[in-house]
Chains A and B, each alone.
Chain A
Amino acid sequence: MTWINFESYYITIVILWTLSLVFLGLSYKTEKLFKFSLIAVLLGIISLIWFDVELWIELHRPPMRTLGETRLWYATFLPIIGLLVYVRWKYKWFLAYCLGMGILFLTINYLNPETYSKTLMPALQSPWFIPHVLVYLFAYALLAASSFVAIKSLYSFYNNTFTENDLKLADNLVYIGFAFLTLGLLFGALWAKEAWGHYWTWDPKEIWAFLTWMMYLLYIHYRHFHISNSKEALLILTAAFIILLICWFGVNYLPVANTSVHTYTQS
């Protein structure tokens, strides 16, 4: 009877994070109010982690299988990343973005509860499952954040308000995100070897994950050698994010979908 109590969690968290956003906005006028914003974010994150744990226990399996469950982890990770980035670089607008995304993901889940099944097919019952998925989700959340920076920066190009600093934030997010993406890809390969006997089969999901990886590789190299061509770098970053989106949920709609071992759609 999963998800039954999601409603109360949902309402609590959304109220907390909305309050946080309000205080964040007000803090541009009255800086003192910002600590309330931080407290509200933190309380929201704690409630959501609490819910994740409860769901995990309720399901008797890690809740990392369906799209809805992955969204839940996004909603958990994004505000955490926003908070960490704030602590490190003091970007309030970035925290606001992460909160907004967190609320959005929770709302999508609230409006479209999918089938949450307790059963887990044998191939997924592996010690690699959790690290593989967690590492990937964390990478995706960071990279999604970096592309938001890219879009904001492209926009500021037109207003001539662009500063190199914004791109530095994108670089940092991409670096850490890419490290995690690499780990996710490699853990996946090691797991596949244990489960199916091949570490790489060019399965559609693997193909798109590899493409995503190549796109960020491109960004890292381009950026490293053309530090002043900001606009091109931003365009690469935007393109990379489009590929990431296809990888994340587009694969199911491509003609190659039915040849994938990664679509666990249930009856």
Chain B
Amino acid sequence: MSNHKNQHNLWDFPWGYVESFLIYSGLLITGFLMEIFFPLKTSTGIVFPYNLFILGGLILFIITLQLFFKKQLFVKWLGSVHAAIISIVFIAFMVMIMGIVPQIKTESTTIQLLGLNSITSHWAFLLILFVFLISLGLVTFKRLLNFQISNIGFVLNHLGLFIALSTGILGAGDTIRLNLELEEGKPNWKAYNNKTKEYVELDFAIYLKDFIVEEFQPKLAFVENEKGEIIHNDGKNLYLIHQNEHYIFNDFEIDITKYLASSGRVGEGYHFVNDIGAPPSAHLSIKNTKTNKTINGWISSGSFLYQYESLKIDENLSVVMTIPEVKKFTSEVSILQKNGERIETTIEVNKPFDFDGWKIYQLSYNEKMGKWSNTSVLELVKDPWLPYVYIGVFMMIAGALYMFWAGNQFKKENNHDVD
């Protein structure tokens, strides 16, 4: 890629793309060998205070390099454009492996041996990332040393990325993620840690007052009798079932004469029932416009307790009701503290609740029971490094806005071709 104008021997100063490529290849090979011989078994990460020491060490190291060793070949290289560009290529390479090989347990011994299914804890990735971070830090620090206001975009982008990456990676070991299973009408304070596979006792208990699932209307679908497959009306969406709705599908005119959100079969038809497991049902009147014959009948989606019911409209087709999709699920809880105080709140997806350094998320529920589930699973997350990661993220957002506002300011005259 480099077109050196003068005769340039390998490892002569300045180091260009070839040297950068060789250095990063060296890291890559070393990393793979280390992965084969001493793979990183745990993915728990580095915990406090060691991660803080490492971060402090990294920053001090970068400052020392720039202040006292900036004349050294290696330091010059670290802060060079060649190193930056090649490091981006190598990180992209490692990330691409992650994007192709599923990052899960595998049968393949080659993938296992090379650690290709656990790139985030792969030595090669970590080594490359480490040198990359030093590079990025050095580039940023150099610019900060002789800061001018016109560099604000540069600093926001590069320092922001440095902060977000370094605190994000090093802080990962301190995140705690617990699952708390709740049953309606009962408190629980024993949460499960998926990483350590242990139960943890919390300083507080959470009492589930009520768990509520809201559903969308069920949908009406046509099914081929033989294959049992849903036919999409020329790819258009399935019809939502509402009372008195009128639909036309090929030669059929469909009238939804009755819709019951919760019902049970009694004799010939469905009636309103409010029991656990009572499924929705609808009464249809379907006219075949070709033969002028009309068929009446009930359909029901069924539930974990009851059979579904379809309506056959001719030799080829039946009408079915799909199981309603979930719109929203909410836990109404009380948080019980040791000092006797209670906090009443509701927790739902996308609306976590902050409490005592924890963020409490709605995670799941008993999906088999659907809307009759009386259990709810909450996730409690503690992420002490998050504010620092967010400082980096918001700097980058500001940097991106700056980039958008300032546009591309390449100007031929003040642009230096590095070669």
A interface residues with partner B (beta carbon < 8 Å): 1-4, 112-123, 125-126, 168, 171-172, 174-176, 178-180, 182-183, 186, 189-190, 193-200, 202, 204, 207-208, 210-211, 214-215, 217-218, 221-229, 232, 254-256, 259, 267
- List of B residues within 8 angstroms of A199 by Cβ: 168, 386, 389, 393
- List of B residues within 8 angstroms of A186 by Cβ: 393, 396-397, 400
**Pairwise interchain contact B418-A256, C-beta atoms closer than 8 A:** no
Overall SS of chain A's interface? helix
Instruction: Name the residue on B nearest A68 (C-beta).
Output: B235
Q: List 20 A-B contacts (CB under 8 A).
A: A115-B232, A117-B237, A118-B216, A121-B325, A125-B328, A175-B408, A180-B404, A183-B400, A183-B401, A186-B397, A202-B103, A207-B95, A225-B81, A225-B416, A226-B417, A226-B418, A227-B412, A228-B417, A259-B102, A267-B322
Asked if B357 lies at the interface with its beta carbon under 8 angstroms from chain A, I say no
**Pairwise interchain contact A171-B410, C-beta atoms closer than 8 A:** yes
Nearest CB of A to B58, in Å: 20
**Pairwise interchain contact A214-B403, C-beta atoms closer than 8 A:** no
Q: Which of B103, B247, B349 has the most CB of A within 10 A?
A: B349
**Pairwise interchain contact B237-A221, C-beta atoms closer than 8 A:** no
Q: Which of A171, A199, A208, A225 has the most CB of B within 10 A?
A: A225
- List of A residues within 8 angstroms of B60 by Cβ: none
**Pairwise interchain contact A175-B104, C-beta atoms closer than 8 A:** no
Q: Which 9 A-B pairs have the closest CB atoms?
A: A175-B408, A122-B349, A179-B404, A182-B400, A207-B99, A179-B403, A113-B235, A197-B381, A179-B400
Q: Within the assembled complex, what's the spacing in Å between the Cα atoms of A172 and B407?
A: 7
**Pairwise interchain contact A197-B379, C-beta atoms closer than 8 A:** yes
**Pairwise interchain contact B350-A122, C-beta atoms closer than 8 A:** yes
- List of B residues within 8 angstroms of A126 by Cβ: 350
**Pairwise interchain contact A118-B408, C-beta atoms closer than 8 A:** no
Nearest CB of B to A91, in Å: 16
Q: Within the assembled complex, what's the spacing in Å between the Cα atoms of A4 and B85?
A: 50
**Pairwise interchain contact A214-B92, C-beta atoms closer than 8 A:** yes
Interface string of B354-384 (1 = CB under 8 A from A): 0000010100000000000000000101000
Given A122-B348, A197-B379, are A226 and B419 neighbors across the interface (CB < 8 Å)? yes
Given A3-B236, A214-B95, are A119 and B417 neighbors across the interface (CB < 8 Å)? no
Instruction: Name the residue on A nearest B408 (C-beta).
Output: A175
Instruction: Name the residue on B nearest A170 (C-beta).
Output: B408
Choose from A179, A204, A226 the contact partner of B401 (Cβ within 8 Å). Answer: A179
- List of A residues within 8 angstroms of B240 by Cβ: 118
Given A112-B235, A189-B393, A197-B359, are A227 and B91 neighbors across the interface (CB < 8 Å)? no
**Pairwise interchain contact A215-B410, C-beta atoms closer than 8 A:** no
Q: Within the assembled complex, what's the spacing in Å between the Cα atoms of A117 and B104?
A: 32
Choose from B92, B359, B386 the contact partner of A215 (Cβ within 8 Å). Answer: B92
**Pairwise interchain contact A116-B361, C-beta atoms closer than 8 A:** no
- List of A residues within 8 angstroms of B84 by Cβ: 221
- List of A residues within 8 angstroms of B297 by Cβ: none
Q: Which of A114, A116, A122, A215 has the most CB of B within 10 A?
A: A122
Within 8 A of A (CB), among B324-368: 325-329, 348-352, 359, 361
Known: A121-B326, A125-B350. 6 other contacts (CB 8 A): A118-B240, A186-B396, A186-B400, A202-B103, A223-B410, A226-B419
Interface string of B97-114 (1 = CB under 8 A from A): 011111110000000000
**Pairwise interchain contact B102-A255, C-beta atoms closer than 8 A:** yes
Q: Within the assembled complex, what's the spacing in Å between the Cα atoms of A207 and B172?
A: 18
Q: Within the assembled complex, what's the spacing in Å between the Cα atoms of A202 and B119?
A: 10
Interface string of B64-99 (1 = CB under 8 A from A): 000000000000000001001100110110011011
**Pairwise interchain contact B234-A221, C-beta atoms closer than 8 A:** no
Choose from B235, B327, B418 the contact partner of A115 (Cβ within 8 Å). Answer: B235
Interface string of B229-247 (1 = CB under 8 A from A): 0101011111110000001
Instruction: Name the residue on A nearest B325 (C-beta).
Output: A119
**Pairwise interchain contact A256-B216, C-beta atoms closer than 8 A:** no
**Pairwise interchain contact A211-B92, C-beta atoms closer than 8 A:** yes
**Pairwise interchain contact B350-A119, C-beta atoms closer than 8 A:** no
**Pairwise interchain contact A207-B237, C-beta atoms closer than 8 A:** no
Asked if B415 lies at the interface with its beta carbon under 8 angstroms from chain A, I say yes
**Pairwise interchain contact B397-A183, C-beta atoms closer than 8 A:** yes
Nearest CB of B to A146, in Å: 11
Q: Within the assembled complex, what's the spacing in Å between the Cα atoms of A174 and B410?
A: 12
**Pairwise interchain contact B3-A229, C-beta atoms closer than 8 A:** yes
**Pairwise interchain contact B352-A197, C-beta atoms closer than 8 A:** yes
- List of B residues within 8 angstroms of A225 by Cβ: 81, 85, 416-418
Q: Within the assembled complex, what's the spacing in Å between the Cα atoms of A122 and B361?
A: 13
Nearest CB of A to B335, in Å: 17
